[in-house]
Structure 1
Amino acid sequence: MTDADSSLIDTFLDSIWMEKGLSENTLSSYRRDLTQFAGWLNAKQLTLLKCQRRDVQIYLAWRVKEKLRASSTSRMLSCLRGFYRYLLSEELINENPVHLIESPKRGRPLPKTLTESDVESLLEAPDLKDPVQFRDRAMLELLYATGLRVSELVGLRVHEINLNQGVIRVMGKGEKERLVPVGEEAITWLQRYYKESRLHLLNDKQSDVVFPSRRGQKMTRQTFWHRIKRHALVAGIDKPLSPHVLRHAFATHLLNHGADLRVVQMLLGHSDLSTTQIYTHVAQHRLQSLHQQHHPRG
């Protein structure tokens, strides 16, 4: 990638970070998409400023040929739209090459989820004699009880949890704060974890991270994801899992038991109700399965 393209990407990301307050994860994905596109252009003796509409179309055709997912292409196009709108506003280009280019058609995939018995098996998988696995049990209990994003869970600080009132103050996407209630079961596990495990993990170190790693530091999302897969193996769960699996289960099981969609939206921290509505399809599928299984004319 040329130095000029790299500088343009840095300037754009700095601009939208200050304007929109995007998370590090979002900024990283934007940088990845723009860097990949710039590298593809450079290989064809082109730059981001010299890109034309036809170049974008050829790039999209290349992505189809490479069998890249429609969802990632849609995200990439969204990133390019914002990037070239910025260049246009800064008068660095005269025409937006992404204007009028449509995102690829794609069906919205249903989130993979676990049954309630699957969740019970997963929660019981950690060996409570091991302080690290005791921490994992508390994390899994809290994740299932609240529907937090994994990044929100590993980033929790002690002062953000009020066990007396049974609530967590969460800073979500776009620096939006929300209060999430915690059930009695999860509170009990947190209290036990504080008494029986957390001090062992800190090993006399000072930290306000609720769930520290073996070294007493903040755990990464990737580390916790590996921990979930390990416990799923012990629990005998062979379904495809994602880092959001318990978040999906939290939402689906609430809806299965009659929770209001807007309440679930607030708990998940979704700014748009349409993002939450996908879970109603999962719940409806569950209800149809129960009907077919138990109704005499199902």
Structure 2
Amino acid sequence: MNDALRRDLAALVVPQWGRLVETGDRYEPYRLIDPDGAAVEPVTVYFQELLAAGIAPSTVRSYGMDLLRWWRFLQAVDVLWDRATRREARDFSCWIQEAVKPRKIKAQGPGPRAVRGAGAANPVTGKPSTGSGYAPATVVHSETVLRRFYDVHRDAGTGPLLNPFPLDLSRRSGRAHAHHNPMDGWRPERVGRYRPSLPRRIPRSIPEAWFNKLFAALPSNRDRALVAFWISSGVRVSELIGMRQRDVDPGQQLISVVRKGSRAVQQVPASADAFVWLRLYQQEVQGQIARGRTQPVWWTRRDPIRPLTYHGAHRMFERVNASLGADWTLHDLRHSAAARMVRDPMLTLSDVQWVLGHAHLSATEVYLTPHKDEVVAGVLAHHARQARESIQPAPPPPAPGYDPASLDVLFGRSS
């Protein structure tokens, strides 16, 4: 390769150019703006394409963060977005895998804060730290978003004729899943050339003992109701936060949620305890929040009282985790609910699939993988049984006149 075409990515300084802002407009919930406050028009057009396809605003925000990183990289290498080539895409893919992720400085509370390096496991949950860089899932997500962004502009004639983020050479022809065996799992068929491999992740659930400690540390009836619904129904964070007062049916122990993928309204059963905590919360805020079938169920606890947001719920759970020294996430509650249901012999796997809202049964099968703690405890119990059997004395010989074979049948010792 010509050395003149190589960039020194180690010395590359990527500026904090522009930002993604929330507008409050349902027809344009997010906007990518440059340092002068002007909207980045190619990204605005792409956001409109996403919204027209029924993509949720939270997904638009996620895509916007990927595009913001790409635009900042283009500023650093001094290349216009519609002049980007596969060289820029390749360099960006290399850079994001090694770059230090910019973080907001948060006020540190009282007491010492543990600092973990990359790969160091949390002493409570066992989760490894991602360190100072971008998570592998973020790198993969960025490649997918940018490839689709350039596909849209290529089809509209407003972007480069060749997508800077191409498909892998072995996946560029043929229809996706053309020869899929319905008995096999679903695998990605459209793999990008600059898409790194992701390790297979096993869903991590919260052990029962630690969940009880976590639930006891929740400071309010609102938070207890939220966690009780998440752990018993298995719905996603955004699905529960988006509930309206008309979506609660205590008599049938059902809640109605809008599914993230299909946007279909589905009734999901929840535990009786969750409805009890909800009723206690409703009694506390009676007269303080707006009432009505279309009003939100969940509200902030501090003035000014306003509807609870996705990020507000995450911050609540982060504070509870910090008090225990743990780093579980709200999505781990969904994993925990699925693991509990899968372990119940009276529930079929298709029942759990329906409750979780999975499109394919293979997505639910991952919860059949046993938890590490369960496997360790089971194997240790096996070793203990083997030790007891090895030291157990042999039965004494029968008294004269008794047939040993008849005694084996009598006492159930025969095979």
Indicate the TM-score class for this superposition, using the shorter chain for normalisation: 0.7 to 0.9
Please say if residues 205 and 216 of structure 1, whose CA atoms lie closer than 8 Å, have aligned partners that are also in contact. no
- 1:130 alignment counterpart: none
- 1:165 alignment counterpart: 252
Q: Per-residue displacement from partner, 1:63-117 (whole Å, max 9, x unpaired)?
A: 2232432211110011012111111211233212211324101203333321122
C-alpha distance in structure 2 between counterparts of 1:273 and 1:5, whole Å: 42
* Gap runs ≥5 in structure 1: 128-132
2:303 paired with 1:211: no
Report % sequence identity: 24
1:19-34 to structure 2, matched below 5 A, reads 19=53, 21-34=54-67
Among residues 345, 350, 356, which one is paired with 1:268 in the alignment?
356
Please say if residues 214 and 321 of structure 2, whose CA atoms lie closer than 8 Å, have aligned partners that are also in contact. yes
C-alpha distance in structure 2 between counterparts of 1:69 and 1:284, whole Å: 23
1:148 to partner: Cα distance: 2.0
2:88 paired with 1:59: no
Q: Per-residue displacement from partner, 1:214-233 (whole Å, max 9, x unpaired)?
A: 24421122322232244445
C-alpha distance in structure 2 between counterparts of 1:266 and 1:37, whole Å: 38
* Gap runs ≥5 in structure 2: 1-17, 19-33, 100-132, 168-192, 388-415
1:108-123 to structure 2, matched below 5 A, reads 108-123=200-215
Please say if residues 5 and 47 of structure 1, whose CA atoms lie closer than 8 Å, have aligned partners that are also in contact. no
C-alpha distance in structure 1 between counterparts of 2:145 and 2:322, whole Å: 37
- 1:41 alignment counterpart: 74
- 2:222 alignment counterpart: 135
CA change 1:114–1:284 in 2 (3 A) is closer
Give the length in aligned residue pairs.
286
- SS for the counterpart of 2:256 is strand
CA change 1:204–1:110 in 2 (3 A) is closer
**Which has the larger displacement, 240-249 or 24-33?**
240-249
- 1:13 alignment counterpart: 47
Please say if residues 168 and 180 of structure 1, whose CA atoms lie closer than 8 Å, have aligned partners that are also in contact. yes
- Relative to the length of structure 2, the TM-score reads 0.63
1:1-298 to structure 2, matched below 5 A, reads 6-19=40-53, 21-66=54-99, 67-92=133-158, 93-100=160-167, 101-126=193-218, 133-174=220-261, 175-194=263-282, 196-199=283-286, 202-203=287-288, 205-206=290-291, 208-214=295-301, 215-232=304-321, 237-258=324-345, 259-281=347-369, 283=370, 285=372, 287-295=374-382, 296-297=385-386
Please say if residues 135 and 197 of structure 1, whose CA atoms lie closer than 8 Å, have aligned partners that are also in contact. no
- Relative to the length of structure 1, the TM-score reads 0.85
C-alpha distance in structure 2 between counterparts of 1:65 and 1:193, whole Å: 46
Q: Per-residue displacement from partner, 1:163-195 (whole Å, max 9, x unpaired)?
A: 11111110121423222112222233333333x
- SS for the counterpart of 2:83 is coil
- 2:392 alignment counterpart: none
Q: What is the root-mean-square deviation of aligned Cα atoms in Å?
A: 2.6
